[in-house]
Amino acid sequence: MPDKSGYCSLGTSVDAILVATESADVLIAHINKFVPRTLGDSQIHTNRINYFVPFNEPLYEVS
């Protein structure tokens, strides 16, 4: 979910997604309240996102 300043966390896929967001012409974001918020260089502002798709499902876990 976006924070109060309008930033969304890239979550657990920050390794590949950050580079992809910088080169993409259109950004589509899954907004999922279950994805953990990551810090550092892993934020994207909502004004850079073209489409928002709500997808509130828990992440898969391996026991």
> Token pair of 38, please?
């990551």
Q: How far apart are CA 4 and CA 25, in angstroms?
A: 25
The predicted structure's pLDDT at residue 61: 86
Show Cβ contacts of residue 55 under 8 Å, excluding neighbours closer than 6 positions. Answer: 30, 31, 32
pTM: predicted TM-score of the whole model, two decimal places: 0.81
CB 6 within 8 A of CB 33: no
**DSSP-H helix ranges across the chain:** 14-23
pLDDT digits (tens, 9 = 90+) for 11-56: 887 888 888 999 999 999 999 999 889 888 889 999 999 999 999 9
